[in-house]
Structure 1
Amino acid sequence: MRPPESEDDGILARAWATGDRAAGEALLRRMLPGIYGLCLRIVGNDFDAQDAAQETFARLCREVRAGPELRDVRKWAATVAMNLCFDLRRERLRDLPAEPAVDAPEPLPAADRETLHRAIGELPERYRLVLQYHFMLDLKPRQIAEILGLEDGTARVLLHRAVAALRKKVTP
């Protein structure tokens, strides 16, 4: 019986840490498509996705060589990749011109914004989190599920319930 993939990853990482270059290459070949795909979904372009995936594996290489065994190599790499991608997105957003887009909706009046922020603040933390991921970072439920370690359907339901709860709070 073949061990689960995450166990194989751990075996390869341990071998790599002891100097087995072929194990490191095998681990990178195995994980690269998933990490690159995750990065591409978050940043939305090939150049930044390649950059984030490459930096993820550079950090993985340093982490493996540093010593203590990684408990779940795949989860560690995905977390690092997501954080790098979110940093890249924030950096790109800061670089955008301050002028609103032509088809941008009119900003909410200050009173409505305050009501909305207060209502969001009153929601349970999980609801606030999925709303932020979806509306502020423009992530799809599938991506939110990956980040939070949920099933796709669970993330969809959570987002639906969060929107419904917010709507209930702001609707007179």
Structure 2
Amino acid sequence: MYAAVQRTSWRQFAANWQPIFLLAVALVFVTTAAVAGVAHALVPGLPLAAAVALGALVAPPDPVAATAVAGRLGLPRRMVSLLEGEGLFNDVTAIVLYHVAIAAVVTGTFSWPGGADRVRAVGGGGRHRGAGAGLAGRAADGVAGRRDAAGGGCRCWCRSCRTRWPTSCTALACWPC
């Protein structure tokens, strides 16, 4: 996930936020519902909430695999950006759905208003914690970059995985600083 965040073009993400969130939220909800419906129909005695938990576990696709396949196929950059952006958020959607489904399994009850409130609370809390972690990481990265510049070192970007490595700029796998 860290490498995907580093690789994401935030300009393209901002321009494509609507289809990204449609894919990340609506598609995970639809996949979860489809898997839950099939599991509930095929397994006698399986509670619907447990079937929804199963659906939430298998709903999000692997963003690394999708990006790797997109790179090999030579897909347009906008489509790759959509896949990478969706990959950053579909896991969050599935985790929140799983959390709500497990709460319904444990308590034995579920209400749509209560479930919607729980989704908003968990999603909002995760958004705030993620923003705080991102700001802390950015501050730590800035301190490390200044330390490298002061020590004469250089932080380069690896061409294969696009992560930063404190290494020499003459390395063949890195872009010059």
**Same topology, TM > 0.5:** no
Higher relative contact order (CA 8 A, sep 6+): 2
Q: TM-score, normalised by structure 2?
A: 0.33
